[in-house]
Structure 1
């Protein structure tokens, strides 16, 4: 048995991919972790950890192959986090297909190839999205709710989910598919995700900067009652680590999909939390510019889920709604880490 845990992370230069290595280093169940980090721009490795860094085109099978032929050997676990975000996929359909489907299939084929040479299949943790849902939905989404995406991003994610499930059914990989809630509040700069404004309307005003809200035309607009299923960054990272440790036989027999726990909030509740934590001046920095395309996509996503299945697997959920999340972001900004 190897005395090290080798973990590969694609999309490692992204926000989640950048936070995950430190969480794994601090995870008592992943001792002596070694990292293979890859992205289209060079990722950064945590200090004091044996790491191999790649600036790689993950749509190129030859580039993917290199990830499995490092001095660290075959990874025990792969976190497949890379992708083109929701609005980016909608605006550049062909690129979305190439990155969100084709490159995932190539990653799975490589994991199958190299995993067949070791004693157990590679754990393949794939981050999916609520964007796989669309159309008429029940009041509360459950594990048996059918996914019918209404956008290119959700279609790509669902297609790759099916691939991960099939590769798992055949024993090629040990797949774990986690559908992430919308994560609020993301640090840094606005992304090409359709849901990015849900972070922006909190983050930017807390920095003293104006933010555009693409839902509604004023604080009085009924469109601000648009609901979303969300989770904090801290809980999301914890759950990505938890996903690594769940025994394969604990998942439903017919699918490796798990909708990670979250809670329901609305655009209005976010703005109310902003005002409560930072005052009226911060709230006044939110400007309204209604975007029907953005609003249509976000409103097609479900906003209420049954958390019982993921909680039974050991995943965790936020408590306290939006106010503690906004308070934490304010502290992080004041400390210069957000």
Structure 2
């Protein structure tokens, strides 16, 4: 068997990482790709060129075993596992163990096997808006200082710093992607603070009730809360694009990139739901204001500068919320969401 490019992907039982795995198998720029997919629950992806492994990434020996499968040492690692934002806030110790300690162990293992093979393995890390907090400028620029206001954001920033340092020293070829809030995610709600932003669109389009923890009604002042989002379609495209960007294109001092997004409010999202699917869909949203969720979301950026990311070749959404909701409705009706 001739092995082509090998990609290791962690967190592969999660919705986003599983979609990245599917996209890698179809990527025309990665012909003959071979995937090693892993998570605490064995990923369900099945294909001739996929090895699915159940692994606890807080165990160093289990991490090492991912680099010694029949496919050999990966050429690229997608680090996408973790305890999500509200989960990290509620269980601080577990969040540190998974979101910091296991990432460092994965970095060390990537460094070790890269050295043995005489190559710098690409290491693509999904970070997010939670690294920001406190008083922020109207537009987050590439040099805006991250000051996280949550356990999740703090752990992501620690991992970012490690990846930058490992890259500076030539141990790995890091690419750190700060994702906007991804909408609309299919499947079951995650333990992320931002999960409601998908739920208030997804559940009503499926004929189900959704809880909105921001405000007590559609017209509540709190629903004017702004957030920085991107469609699942553009996020998936950009996660694949990240693998193909030459290392020389990144700025010398950091591998952090804020992926392109757009600004919306909770009310605009709900209004898009009403425009696409009518007032009956909107009536399925139940408001239960949650101060903790509101505090965390309010600490995130409202807008970021897209210019650096676009100069690297990443793509952005056009047209705001309505096309995003309409596309997801089409997926629901087609049984794809």
Q: Fold match, TM over 0.5?
A: yes
Q: For 1:114 and 1:21, locate their aligned partners in 2 and report how far apart those are by CA, in whole Å.
A: 22
Is this contact kept in 2: 1:239–1:260, CA < 8 A? Answer: yes
Residue matched to 1:235: 234
Residue matched to 1:214: 213
Residue matched to 1:45: 45
Which stretches of structure 1, 4 residues or longer, exceed 4 Å deviation after superposition? none
Is this contact kept in 1: 2:3–2:34, CA < 8 A? Answer: no
Residue matched to 1:8: 8
- 1:46 CA displacement: 4.5
Q: Where do 1:11-26 residues align within 5 Å? A: 11-26=11-26
Residue matched to 1:261: 260
- 1:3 CA displacement: 5.6
Give the CA RMSD over aligned residues: 0.9
Q: For 1:246 and 1:173, locate their aligned partners in 2 and report how far apart those are by CA, in whole Å.
A: 15
Deviation digits for residues 29-88 of structure 1, max 9, x if unmatched?
1110000000000102253x4111110000100110100010100000000000000000
Deviation digits for residues 192-249 of structure 1, max 9, x if unmatched?
1001110000000001111110000011101110011101111101000000011111
Q: For 2:74 and 2:57, locate their aligned partners in 1 and report how far apart those are by CA, in whole Å.
A: 17
Q: For 2:71 and 2:188, locate their aligned partners in 1 and report how far apart those are by CA, in whole Å.
A: 33
Deviation digits for residues 228-279 of structure 1, max 9, x if unmatched?
1101111101000000011111111110000000000100000000000000
Mean CA deviation greater in 209-218 or 18-27: 18-27
Residue matched to 1:180: 179
Kindly indicate whether residue 322 of structure 2 is the aligned counterpart of residue 317 of structure 1. no
**SS in structure 2 of the partner of residue 253 of structure 1:** coil
Q: For 1:258 and 1:175, locate their aligned partners in 2 and report how far apart those are by CA, in whole Å.
A: 11
**SS in structure 2 of the partner of residue 45 of structure 1:** coil
**SS in structure 1 of the partner of residue 117 of structure 2:** coil
Residue matched to 2:80: 81
Structure 2: tracts of 5 or more residues without a match: none
Q: For 2:49 and 2:330, locate their aligned partners in 1 and report how far apart those are by CA, in whole Å.
A: 31
- 1:119 CA displacement: 3.6
- 1:175 CA displacement: 0.2
Q: For 1:36 and 1:74, locate their aligned partners in 2 and report how far apart those are by CA, in whole Å.
A: 10
- 1:135 CA displacement: 0.7
Is this contact kept in 2: 1:22–1:46, CA < 8 A? Answer: no
Q: For 2:217 and 2:316, locate their aligned partners in 1 and report how far apart those are by CA, in whole Å.
A: 32
- How many correspondences in the alignment? 336
Deviation digits for residues 300-327 of structure 1, max 9, x if unmatched?
0001011000000000001111111111
Q: For 1:89 and 1:141, locate their aligned partners in 2 and report how far apart those are by CA, in whole Å.
A: 24
Residue matched to 1:155: 154
Residue matched to 1:293: 292
Deviation digits for residues 278-300 of structure 1, max 9, x if unmatched?
00000001010000000000010
Is this contact kept in 1: 2:20–2:236, CA < 8 A? Answer: yes
Q: Where do 1:50-61 residues align within 5 Å? A: 50-61=49-60
Q: For 1:302 and 1:127, locate their aligned partners in 2 and report how far apart those are by CA, in whole Å.
A: 17
Q: For 1:240 and 1:266, locate their aligned partners in 2 and report how far apart those are by CA, in whole Å.
A: 25
Is this contact kept in 2: 1:131–1:149, CA < 8 A? Answer: yes
Is this contact kept in 2: 1:21–1:46, CA < 8 A? Answer: no
Deviation digits for residues 168-206 of structure 1, max 9, x if unmatched?
000000000000000000001111100111000000000
Mean CA deviation greater in 251-260 or 21-30: 21-30
